[in-house]
Structure 1
Amino acid sequence: MTPNNNEGRQKVDISSSIRRNYHSLSEVQRRIADYILANGGHAMYLSITDLANTCGTSETTIMRFLRKIGFDSYQVFRVQLAQGMQDGKPKYAWSDIESSDSVGSIKEKVVSSTVSAIEDIRSLIPDAELELFSDLVLKASRVFIFGVGSSAYIAGDLFHKLIRLGLSACVCHDPHIMAIQSAQAREDDLFIFVSHSGESEVLLDCCKTVKERGGIPIAITSYPHSTLSELSRIQLLSSTNEMNYRPDAMTSRILQLVIIDLLTIVLTFKLGDRGIEAIAGSQIAVARQKR
């Protein structure tokens, strides 16, 4: 997020902004972020000096951290932190899984962190970007969806949703085939890249080729400042803090599936009767394969 001089008037979702920028924070700044996420109810009462002492850092570092998450004023940050409180409980409460946690505690932390991450989508994805993303899908002459590793399964889900709507799309997770398809990109071809990190060399090479050929690269990824985000026309972000003992960016994958669901519903309404008829026809075709 790029800070501006209007933060006093523009409300920032603190939890979402911290999650979105967490990967770019220094070790000390992450310590500040972790403290605020876990102790929002107490942090809102602290002066900048007290917060710096609590986190073992300096007031200057606190301000650097605040600018990264969208604030130029510590007082504005405190006010909005207080506004994020609900019924006396910190909206931003978050704690990682520990090896000593009970099964019940693990369940509560996993569910709470996932629900909180899904709620972040409200501020992570501006309406205008979702609108543009869906319009590009509908206007494209051809749609290619690329993903590797665990992202290949997310790409497959998007492919499944698009063809159910009667849209022409192709999904690929083979590096060689992706390279060939990218090299044959034409204007008005849309390439959707799915990647949690946004740093997969395979996808980055393809994205660069698509741009050189005049195609349109867009992305579903987690980090706004990743290389893939910088190369893409637009991005739908699925940024979140992952937890210990929860491998393969699992929460981000869940968010990406929610984003795909959201995109599908927007596309359905834009297609109108055509989309509804396509879904009905797809359901009948699948039903015929069942007993």
Structure 2
Amino acid sequence: MPLDCTRYGHNYRRVDLLNRIATDRHDMPEALRKVADAILGGPADAARMTIVDLAERSGTSTATITRFCRALGFTGYAELRVAIATETGRVAQQTWETDIGQEILPDDSLDRVLGVVSANDIRLIQQTRDQLDLAVVDKVAQAVARAGRVLLFGVSSSAAVASEMEYRLQRIGVPTWSRSDAHTALTDAALLGQGDVAIGISHSGRTREVIEVLAEAGSHGAITVAVTSQPRSPLAEVAELVLTTASRATSFRSEGFAAIHSQLLVLDVVYVSVAQRTYERTKQAFDVTVRAVAGHRLPEQRPPEQHLSEQHLPQQGLPEEES
């Protein structure tokens, strides 16, 4: 079934193709997975292969290669090959990315750990930025700004992301709740209605509880939003609006953990857009909340007093010498 690129973002096919192939391969039939693995095993080589060569390398047929291209939204193999060549050339020019995807060994230095982790996180944020459909962000922000209630739900690491978004929206006066317990989330979802918004967060898009909560909210007329790295997942299928994120596993960090920064980026853009639409209310909310907590902040520490000398004295007029 060809991918509906318009639903998940205007840059879906073109931006970070290799990462998208690595992500989508989990949901592909076995024959298409073989093609994906052949490409991921040597993208630069794949970009130079004919369709017959790639079929032989993957142990499939030219018909399977064509199906693979269409599954990713390409019209044919020539278009896919150009996209792979473009991406491998772009990555080769970005030398700072050389550590991305490399394994972190138990005896690696902290300097190398920092390099691999930070490069991966920066890259994922850039990938998310490039593939993010701002038209969808605009629709989500508009719905949240007008919502009577907003429900956020995620489990495991996604629950922390939901909780952070809850805090931000509540801070600007949007009635928001985040849940990490499925039963509580389901009861809250059942009480939503027209004009309310439910946001489900799941890297895999296959977390049963998140799917159920979003489906429940949608059945009562709420606008449903999925935040996921898998735009063809069951969660995306039950959502009215889909915001995609990028993710890539590294040593000691699963794809779910790695997706946190991307999820926060997407929701932060939504939050800022909501704040823009509700500027006066947001400004008033910030003023009130800052005053409310002001008494709980310690005064700023002043630097230790220095010994007075002429160079530290204020420049004042000196008395004239007596004649």
TM-score by length of structure 2 reads 0.75
* Cα separation, partners in 2 of 1:88 and 1:156, compared to 1, 3 Å: closer
Q: Which residue of 2 aligns with 1:144?
A: 151
User: Could you tell me which of 76, 79, 90 is aligned with 2:79?
Assistant: 76
Task: State the Cα deviation string for residues 12-52 of structure 1 (Å, max 9, x = none).
Answer: 22235425523323456445435545643343222223333
Q: Which residue of 2 aligns with 1:46?
A: 49
Q: Which residue of 2 aligns with 1:220?
A: 227
* Cα separation, partners in 2 of 1:146 and 1:86, compared to 1, 3 Å: closer
* C-alpha separation in 1, matches of 2:77 and 2:191: 51
Instruction: Please give the root-mean-square deviation of Cα atoms over the aligned residues, in Å.
Output: 3.2
After TM superposition, list the pairs within 5 Å mapping 1:245-284 onto structure 2: 245-247=252-254, 249-284=256-291
18-27 or 119-128: which moved more?
18-27
Q: Which residue of 2 aligns with 1:7?
A: none
Task: State the Cα deviation string for residues 139-185 of structure 1 (Å, max 9, x = none).
Answer: 11111222222221111011011012222212222233222222222
Q: Which residue of 1 aligns with 2:320?
A: none
* Cα separation, partners in 2 of 1:88 and 1:171, compared to 1, 3 Å: closer
* C-alpha separation in 1, matches of 2:207 and 2:13: 34
Task: State the Cα deviation string for residues 83-118 of structure 1 (Å, max 9, x = none).
Answer: 332385489986452758844665544333333322
* C-alpha separation in 2, matches of 1:242 and 1:3: 24
Q: Return the index of the structure with the highest Cα Rg.
A: 2
Q: Alignment partner of 2:188: what SS?
A: helix
Q: Alignment partner of 1:163: what SS?
A: helix
Which segments of 5 or more consecutive residues in structure 2 lack a partner in the other structure? Answer: 7-11, 299-323
* Alpha carbons 2:34, 2:60 under 8 Å: kept: no
95-104 or 263-272: which moved more?
95-104
* Cα separation, partners in 2 of 1:153 and 1:272, compared to 1, 3 Å: same
* C-alpha separation in 1, matches of 2:157 and 2:243: 18
Which segments of 5 or more consecutive residues in structure 1 lack a partner in the other structure? Answer: 5-9
Q: Which residue of 2 aligns with 1:210?
A: 217
* C-alpha separation in 1, matches of 2:115 and 2:34: 23
* C-alpha separation in 2, matches of 1:100 and 1:44: 35
Q: Which residue of 1 aligns with 2:131?
A: 124
* Cα separation, partners in 2 of 1:49 and 1:178, compared to 1, 3 Å: same
Task: State the Cα deviation string for residues 180-205 of structure 1 (Å, max 9, x = none).
Answer: 22222222222222222223333333
Q: Alignment partner of 1:86: what SS?
A: helix
* C-alpha separation in 2, matches of 1:29 and 1:143: 39
Q: Alignment partner of 2:14: what SS?
A: coil
After TM superposition, list the pairs within 5 Å mapping 1:59-70 onto structure 2: 59-70=62-73
Q: Which residue of 2 aligns with 1:200?
A: 207
* Alpha carbons 1:49, 1:59 under 8 Å: kept: yes
After TM superposition, list the pairs within 5 Å mapping 1:82-93 onto structure 2: 82-84=85-87, 85-86=89-90, 88-89=92-93
Q: Which residue of 1 aligns with 2:28?
A: 25
Q: CA deviation at 1:261?
A: 1.6
* Cα separation, partners in 2 of 1:43 and 1:109, compared to 1, 3 Å: farther
* Alpha carbons 1:16, 1:123 under 8 Å: kept: no
Task: State the Cα deviation string for residues 38-76 of structure 1 (Å, max 9, x = none).
Answer: 643343222223333444444333333222222122222
Q: Which residue of 1 aligns with 2:175?
A: 168
* Cα separation, partners in 2 of 1:90 and 1:37, compared to 1, 3 Å: farther
